[in-house]
Structure 1
Amino acid sequence: MRAKIHVTLKSGILDPQGRTIRQSLRTLGFAGVADVRVGKFLEIELNQDDPVEAEAQLKAMCETLLANTVIEEYQYELELHPSRHSS
């Protein structure tokens, strides 16, 4: 199984990196950029056949290490049979 995890700052938490990127985009002529929020994207391959157990493990990983739940929120999706793509 493959898990795809997005970790972002909670709404209302100042995002100085996002603000800097927004300002740089505006300086480069992208005046229509209203806001930028920066986060993390992780892909994790799990050696797990039971989707319920995989989801429990994934939630525990996010809560204990991957996200600082005081200031960050996370979303994930679990692919039961990930397709193989080559780039």
Structure 2
Amino acid sequence: MYKATIFVTLKESVLDPQGVAVKGSLHSLGYAEVKDVRIGKRIEVLIESDNRRKAEQQVREICEKVLSNPVIEQFRFELEEVA
């Protein structure tokens, strides 16, 4: 079995209004050194498989078809074998 930790974020060219709001809040709290904030999602998925390559392929398909919008988001994932 494999655990995929998936990170979905907006592409750099896409404005992140949530990140802008958080940055503004941080500045108002005195954290003027913060230059940029980007907000994203972290998702964990367990895949029952004995084949790492097949598990990677499934995670990639899940990300492309369900978990991210390829027009405005990018994703990356880490895959680890678990008991």
Q: How many residues align?
A: 82
Structure with greater strand share of residues: 2
TM-score normalized by the length of structure 2? 0.95
Match status 1:69 vs 2:70: yes
Instruction: List alignment gaps of at least 5 residues for structure 2.
Output: none
Deviant stretches of 4+, over 2 Å: none
Q: Paired residue for 1:2?
A: 3
Partners of 1:81 and 1:41 in 2: CA distance = 18
CA offsets 1:7-48 (integer angstroms, 9 cap, x no match) = 000011000000000000000011100000000000111111
Q: Tell me the percent identity.
A: 45
Amino acid at match of 2:30: G
RMSD: 0.9
CA offsets 1:30-86 (integer angstroms, 9 cap, x no match) = 11000000000001111111001000100100000000010000000100237xxxx
Match status 1:45 vs 2:46: yes
Instruction: List alignment gaps of at least 5 residues for structure 1.
Output: 83-87
TM-score normalized by the length of structure 1? 0.91
